[in-house]
Structure 1
Amino acid sequence: MKKISFLVFMLVFIFAFPTIGQAAGSGTSIYLNGEALNLPKNGQVQNVKGNVMIPIRVVMEELGFDVDWEKGTRTVTIKQADTTIKLIVNQKSATVNGKKAALSIAPMLKQDTTLVPLRFVSEQMGLTVGWDNATKTVYLITPDQGGGGGEGSNTSSGSSNSEDGSINPNPVPSQNLASVTGISFDANRLIVAVDQNVKPNVFKLSEPDRIVIDIPDSRFDDSFSSNHSLDAFQNGFMDINGYPDVTKIRYSQFSDHPSTIRIVMDLTGARNYSLLNADDGYVIIDLNVDQSYPSRGNGKPLVVIDAGHGGSDPGAISVRKRREKDFNLAIAKKVENLLKHETQLDYILTRSTDVFVKLQDRAKLANDMNADLFVSLHANSGSATASGVETYYTRGESLPFAKTMHKYLVESSGLPDRKVRTKNLHVTRETTMPAVLLEFGYLSNSSDEALLYTEKFQNSVAQGVVDGIKDYLGFK
């Protein structure tokens, strides 16, 4: 029994997380309709900057496409049936039946072998491309063998392997999976944003120390890669700076059967954690339970910093076509950098990247965390002549906080004072702690807008936000 337990432990240890950027040359296999391709020594696929590249010899001999190489122009022409693809070495665009198409990586020459991006070529030829991250295996399925990439195919995360090693012809439809829309790390807390209820499995590993979070029946949202690093193997990572406990956050589409996203926190030593999963769109792993980080029960005030809008919601559009969401996030990150040095209070961001967060989720996060203050950051829009700063509140208990924050907003911005105002806003109404929404100026006013996007202005108002919070809490 002890021997079996040790074996299980070793398997878990070895496969706790696949190495980011693992070389594909010796470890990647390719299956076509369930049959393994026999790759010669000089025909091994390559992992180049997270993209699976395949020699044109394999395209011709193993996939059966017609391939022509023009040495003078360094052009590869690939044909099958009524589809013709032209790719040029070192150019990140191709043509498909004469129409230009963008490439994530350009074809290249390596040791007299021309490499082309496998996913692009295969999908343009109508093949379903799947990836099993656990085994580093590419699965190619022709239209007559597996549904051809229709609604029932899981082309975003790869086809699954059944227990006997064959292709699963009926992978879980993507519409039944939870989508992970964002991952962030703030105030010594990992925050995972999801679009539906999930039941994560969280456990610790040692040598080296890690906390592993598995989210079953999930996939990365289609917008995830635009805001986070994510390679062709569905692997990515975030380097963590400024926190002594965590060095890196790694994430991966770890398994396709069931479809599981794995997130790993690389630690500097063994750490305890608490899990908050209130089915509100957030999974939170809180490391603030060790003595080095006082817990909420020790009376350290928690402030929620809310960067308005984000993702598919751009907010107001300025006179120079700039997006409010970008301004809001820039201020939030500057406020965060200042709060990192404040030892008397704690903070958390509702978003630290360009992702969409519902209004109700912003308020619920603050309520579930039992926050002491809530500050939402925005820029205004109206007439071309409107100028100045405003502070909004909804509930009467928020008025003293609003007055304090507005005083510092006026001083730090240098813009006209448009007063403290009351308004029925979701984030200031549904939160249970003092809550304000700050408008830093008018994007519809060319003078305000020009000022809002300068580093000097943003640094000044960020300091004003922090000073207002500290003053209200009695720390100034």
Structure 2
Amino acid sequence: MKKFAFTLLLMLFVLVLPEHGQAAAANNKIFLDGKELTAGQSAPVENVGGSVMVPLRMISENLGYKVDWDQASKTVTIGQTGTTMKLVVDQTAASVNDKTVVLTNAPLNRNGTTLVPIRFISEQFGLTVSWDNDQKIVTLITPETGGSNTGSGGGAADGGSTVVVPPAEPAKNLTMVNGISFNENRLTIAMEGNAVPKVSRVSGPERIIIDIENATFSDLFGTGQVLDPNLNGSLAVTGYPDVTAVRYSLYNTNPYTVRFVIDTTSYKNYSVEVSGDTSRLVVVDLNAVSTDNPSTQPGNNGRKLVVLDAGHGAKDSGAVGVTGKYEKNFNLAIVLKAAELLKKENNIDVVLTRSDDTFLELKDRAAMANNLNADLFISVHANSSGSSAASGTETYYQRESSKALANVMHKYLVQATGLSNRGVRYGNFHVIRETKMPAVLLEVGYLSNKGDESLLFSESLQNKVAAGIVSGIKEYLGLK
């Protein structure tokens, strides 16, 4: 029996496949080491959200693996000497030799055939993969030599389990953890579902533990943060002397539990706020004087609270410039600079929807501002057009109550950029429509214009724009 080496050649699929739709089975072929796999002609190859899904049994059995199917639990078990894999239909968590792996898409059942992402085939069977988009042909090649790639990953957060037991409850009943961010000494967790976090403080060493039961990581989480094969990872924390690290893991599987650990340098009080219905935000605030003192929440004591939103993030790059620069990076750079300036203001608190390359749903961005009862919401973006001649600065509002803020912000934005004034405009964008406070969306310039793009990614202009945002906020709030 051959030993399979780990090879991952998947970017080709992302580049050449359409984003939506399915390919008919008759138009797709699968070749393994030059031989067409013809068993089960009706077995489809599908493109689901940009991920190629292929029939698991057909490929596994041709590689010499034994495949078993349990109808009751909808579990596929693939076995070969020294290797056992378990996958559950409609669940992204799978196990390989009792180690957890996350699939890019959950396995699907199509007329009795289980489809899995081609990435799983590549990683776990060690195959080289290619795709002929014209002929609609999947080609799989097994190396003659190599080793297994099913070794264990790093340690879990505070000793989390790495053994996967398919949960008794359907995946639809699990809360999905979509993303995290850490800024202003606050950990924010975005999740979809009705789970309630359990937060506790532990000494020796000092740390704060957040357990979310009946929950797992969603595919979205993996696009913004690193997850190793055992579903462990950590969030880099800099600039906050009270916190040395934020760690996370799938801590347990009975019941499924996601654990976050905030490692602190000393004993820290905290407050916890959970907001939203099924789309929830959990904020663990280390700025609390005591766990029961609401006066430590941002925006209290007469201070104004401003939420700054860096558009896009992680898998969502936003506009792509003429030289390949990403809008998401520009947006974040401006927001971080503006936040640093706002921190120096005695009468203003600032909260960021994201402080790193994290993906957040639009509804989560608006919910964060609403749940914090913010005074202002400002979303930063860069524009794009089909015409390379398009250039200039625009500011959008959706509600009439936001128009005055838009006028003030636009005045300073145009001064900061020196680009053509494209005006204050109405725009029905989610984040400025669903927020309850005055809210604007700034389109600083056009990444599709070579001159604008070069200017937007210069340090000097970014500093001017950040300062202009602060000046606009202060004037609107009457704090100049």
- The TM-score, its normalising length taken from structure 2, stands at 0.64
Rate the CA distance shift 1:127–1:435 in 2: closer, same or farther, 3 A: farther
**Paired position in structure 1 for 2:108:** none
Rate the CA distance shift 1:152–1:390 in 2: closer, same or farther, 3 A: closer
Q: 5+ residue gaps in structure 1?
A: 1-65, 67-78, 100-123, 129-139
Contact 1:147 1:153 in 2 (8 A): no
What secondary structure does 1:450 align onto? Answer: helix
What secondary structure does 1:348 align onto? Answer: strand
Deviation at 1:345, TM superposition (A): 1.6
1:208 aligns with 2:205: yes
String of CA shifts for 1:228-264, please: whole Å, max 9, x gaps: 2333432222343333543321211111111111011
1:271 aligns with 2:269: yes
Amino acid at match of 2:89: E
1:318 aligns with 2:321: yes
Amino acid at match of 2:227: L
String of CA shifts for 1:153-192, please: whole Å, max 9, x gaps: 764477699xxxx984666554543222211112222111
**Paired position in structure 1 for 2:284:** 285
**Paired position in structure 1 for 2:309:** 306
Percent identity reads: 45
What secondary structure does 1:356 align onto? Answer: coil
**Paired position in structure 2 for 1:180:** 177
- How do 1:173-252 residues align onto structure 2 when only pairs under 5 Å count? 174-252=171-249
Rate the CA distance shift 1:169–1:392 in 2: closer, same or farther, 3 A: closer
Amino acid at match of 2:305: L
CA distance in 2, matches of 1:339, 1:127: 61
Rate the CA distance shift 1:169–1:450 in 2: closer, same or farther, 3 A: closer
- How do 1:143-182 residues align onto structure 2 when only pairs under 5 Å count? 143=79, 148-151=86-89, 155-156=93-94, 168=165, 174-182=171-179
String of CA shifts for 1:181-237, please: whole Å, max 9, x gaps: 211112222111113332211222234332211111222223434432333432222
**Paired position in structure 1 for 2:466:** 462
Q: CA RMSD in A?
A: 3.6
What secondary structure does 1:365 align onto? Answer: helix
What secondary structure does 2:4 align onto? Answer: strand
Amino acid at match of 1:290: V
CA distance in 2, matches of 1:189, 1:314: 25
What secondary structure does 1:354 align onto? Answer: coil
| Equivalent position to 2:441, from 437, 442, 451 | 437
Deviation at 1:340, TM superposition (A): 3.7
- How do 1:8-19 residues align onto structure 2 when only pairs under 5 Å count? none
Q: 5+ residue gaps in structure 2?
A: 10-30, 35-62, 68-75, 101-162
What secondary structure does 1:375 align onto? Answer: strand
1:85 aligns with 2:4: yes
CA distance in 1, matches of 2:303, 2:248: 31
Alignment size in residue pairs: 353
CA distance in 1, matches of 2:91, 2:430: 39
What secondary structure does 2:226 align onto? Answer: coil
CA distance in 1, matches of 2:399, 2:4: 62
Amino acid at match of 1:326: N
Deviation at 1:440, TM superposition (A): 0.5
Q: Whose relative contact order is higher, 1 or 2, with alpha carbons under 8 Å and at least 6 apart?
A: 2
**Paired position in structure 2 for 1:388:** 392
Rate the CA distance shift 1:320–1:247 in 2: closer, same or farther, 3 A: same
Rate the CA distance shift 1:329–1:98 in 2: closer, same or farther, 3 A: farther
Contact 1:309 1:325 in 2 (8 A): yes
String of CA shifts for 1:39-61, please: whole Å, max 9, x gaps: xxxxxxxxxxxxxxxxxxxxxxx
Rate the CA distance shift 1:361–1:86 in 2: closer, same or farther, 3 A: closer
CA distance in 2, matches of 1:437, 1:127: 56
**Paired position in structure 2 for 1:11:** none
Rate the CA distance shift 1:465–1:170 in 2: closer, same or farther, 3 A: closer
Amino acid at match of 2:313: G
| Equivalent position to 1:354, from 353, 357, 381 | 357
**Paired position in structure 1 for 2:380:** 377
Report which stretch shifted further, 344-353 or 288-297. Answer: 288-297
CA distance in 2, matches of 1:126, 1:456: 60
CA distance in 1, matches of 2:164, 2:274: 37
What secondary structure does 1:231 align onto? Answer: coil
Contact 1:245 1:269 in 2 (8 A): no
Rate the CA distance shift 1:251–1:391 in 2: closer, same or farther, 3 A: same
Deviation at 1:152, TM superposition (A): 6.6
CA distance in 1, matches of 2:217, 2:95: 8
CA distance in 1, matches of 2:191, 2:234: 18
- How do 1:31-180 residues align onto structure 2 when only pairs under 5 Å count? 79=2, 84-86=3-5, 142-143=78-79, 148-151=86-89, 155-156=93-94, 168=165, 174-180=171-177
Rate the CA distance shift 1:126–1:389 in 2: closer, same or farther, 3 A: farther
CA distance in 2, matches of 1:374, 1:385: 30
Rate the CA distance shift 1:402–1:85 in 2: closer, same or farther, 3 A: same
Deviation at 1:148, TM superposition (A): 4.1
- The TM-score, its normalising length taken from structure 1, stands at 0.65
| Equivalent position to 2:334, from 313, 331, 336 | 331
Deviation at 1:415, TM superposition (A): 1.1
Deviation at 1:97, TM superposition (A): 7.0
Contact 1:214 1:260 in 2 (8 A): yes
What secondary structure does 1:456 align onto? Answer: helix
Deviation at 1:376, TM superposition (A): 0.5
Contact 2:208 2:263 in 1 (8 A): yes
Rate the CA distance shift 1:156–1:141 in 2: closer, same or farther, 3 A: closer
